[in-house]
A and B are shown apart, each in its own frame.
Chain A
Amino acid sequence: MTRHDDYRQPRDPGDVFLPETPSQTAGPYVHIGLALDVAGLPERDHEIDNRLAEPEAEGEFIELAGVVLDGADQPVADILVEAWQADAHGAYVTDFAFDNVFNSFGRAAPGADDAGRWVFSTIKPGRVPYPGAIDMAPHINLALFARGINIHLQTRIYFDDEADDNADCPFLNKVPPHRRDTLIARRAGESDAGHPRYEIVIRLQGPEETVFFDY
C-alpha cells in the first residue's frame, strides 16, 4: 500500500526536470547490437534471444510466430521484436538472468531466409491484474524496432482461444471495437517441438492497421 508521504512530489518549482532522450531509428543493422546471429557476428557466451522458457518452466508451451507488413503489404524483413509477458501465474519475472527457466523478456528477428517471419518460443501467460477492474486477458507486449521506425511501436498480442477473457478484458475494451481483431493471434498448427503455434500479422498501415499504444 502506497502511503501519502511516499509520493515523490512532482516537484517543487526549480526542481530538475529534464527532457527524455529523444528516440532515433534502430536502423537496418540493429542486429549487430541486438541479434548478433542475424548480422553474422559470433555470439557472446550468452545472448538475449527468442526463447523465453526452458523445458522446466511452468505453463503451457507455445510458439508465437508473426510477420510485420509495411504500407505496401511487404514484409519488414529487418524488424527487431521485443516481447514482455507474465509467467503462467500472471506475474512478471523482472530479474532477468540467462539461467532462469523463464524470463519475461525476449527478442526475435527474422533471418535472411525467413521472409520477415519471426518466432518466440515461450509459455502462455496468465491473466494480469488491472487497477480497479477484473484481470486482463492473457497477452504479450511487443515493441517493434526497425529502419524507418523513428520511435518504436508498442502493441499487444492476445489469443483467439481466450475469447471469453478477451471479451471482458478491461484493457482490450479500451480499443475501438472494430480494431480489436488486429491484436488477436490465431491458433494454427504446431511448432516443430509439437507445441501449439499462434500466428499474428502486424500491419503498420492500411485498412487493417494494427493498434499501437501510447503509455
Chain B
Amino acid sequence: MADNRHIDFVQRDRNWHPDPAAVGYRTTVLRHPKQALVSLQTPSASERTGPDFGAMALGAHDNDLLMNHRPGTAADGLPIGERIHVYGRVIDQFGAPVPNTLVEMWQANAGGRYRHKKDSYVAPLDPNFGGVGRTVTDPAGWYRFRTIRPGPYPWPNDPNAWRPAHIHVSVFGPSVATRLITQLYFEGDPLIPRCPIVNTIRDADAVETLTARLDMARSRAFDSLVYRFDIVTRGALQTWFENV
C-alpha cells in the first residue's frame, strides 16, 4: 500500500537530467516548452501518491523476451541474437529499496528493427521476437529480464545518425513524482558518445549511470551473458511537519 501522504521527494536536479531543448536532437526543437516550469512549493496528495503494482497480475513470461512472443505455428522457436539477462535493483537516492514497482522495457531485435507499424528499416523482423517486457520489483527492489541484445539502428536526425544499442526502461517508484522513463546503454558501445539523444545529457557522469555493466560473475556458461543496470528514483523523505 503506497500511502505517501507524508512523504516528500528530493527535488529533481534538472541540470543532471537532459536539456529539454537540446538542438542536436532535432525533434526537441518544436517539442519543448519555452516558458519556465511552474514549481510547486507545497506538494499535495496529488503529487505524493502513485500506483502500487504489487497486486498486478502478470503473465508467466512477461519478463522473458526469449519466450513471450510465440507466433503459435510449427515455426515457433527462439529469437536470433545474443542471449542476455538484464537485472538490477531499483533504489531511491538514499539507497532504500523500491519494492513492488513496475519496471517495463521495450527494444529492437538483434538487427535493430522494432516490431512497430511505423518502423520501416530494412533489417528484418524476427518471427520469434516481440521486444516488450514487464515485471514488478521484489521486496528488496530487484528486477530481472531475459532478452536478446538489441542492435543499433539508423534514424533521420543527422544524415548518418545511429542509435547505440539500447533498451527503453520505464519505472514508477512510489509516486507520480518519481515516475521516470529512460534508456539503458551497453558498456563499451562506441556509438554512445556519438548519439545526439545521449548527448542531450550534459554531464558525462550521468551518461555513465545509464550504461549497463557486463556482470561475468552472474553470466551463465553456455547459456547467456548478464548485464547489471541499477535504477535510482528520487529520495523519499518523511515530512518534518504538516499544516493539516
Contact = CB atoms under 8 A, between A and B. Distances in A.
B117 A23 contact: no
Contacts of B104: 33-34
A36 B68 CA distance: 13
Contacts of B53: 96
A187 interface: no
A11 B62 CA distance: 38
A171 B31 CA distance: 25
Interface in B188-236: 197-198, 200-201, 205-207, 209-210, 231-236
Contacts of A16: 94-95
A149 B115 contact: no
B73 interface: no
A151 to B, nearest CB: 5
Given A98-B56, A151-B14, A19 B40 contact: no
A150 B117 contact: no
Nearest to A77: B118
Given A2-B242, A33-B168, A150-B22, A94 B114 contact: no
6 contacts: A10-B237, A19-B209, A25-B18, A30-B181, A148-B28, A174-B40
Given A141-B46, A141-B47, A32 B132 contact: yes
A211 B164 CA distance: 34
Contacts of B57: 45-46, 97-98
Interface residues of B, number: 100
B180 A72 contact: no
Nearest to A85: B46
A7 B237 CA distance: 7
SS class of chain A's interface: helix, strand, loop or mixed?
A: loop
B110 interface: no
Nearest to A68: B31
Interface of B: 1-4, 6, 10, 12-14, 16-20, 22, 25, 27-35, 37-47, 49-57, 59, 62, 69, 91, 93-95, 104-107, 114-119, 130-134, 168, 170-171, 176-177, 179-183, 197-198, 200-201, 205-207, 209-210, 231-244
Contacts of B115: 32, 39-41
Given A24-B183, A143-B179, A94 B106 contact: no
A152 B54 contact: no
Given A96-B55, A141-B46, A148-B28, A33 B62 contact: no
B18 A151 contact: yes
Nearest to A26: B181
Contacts of A128: 44-46
A6 B116 contact: no
B238 A2 contact: yes
Contacts of B32: 148-150, 204-205
B38 A213 contact: yes
Nearest to A214: B37
Interface centre among A19, A33, A212 (most CB of B within 10 A): A33
A23 B182 contact: yes
A176 B12 CA distance: 22
Contacts of B114: 29, 32, 39
A22 B210 contact: yes
A156 B236 CA distance: 23
Given A7-B239, A39-B117, 4 more contacts: A24-B18, A45-B57, A94-B3, A94-B50
Contacts of B241: 2
Contacts of A55: none
Nearest to A70: B30
A215 B93 contact: no
Contacts of B116: 28-29, 31-32, 39-41
Interface string A113-141: 00000000000000011111000100101
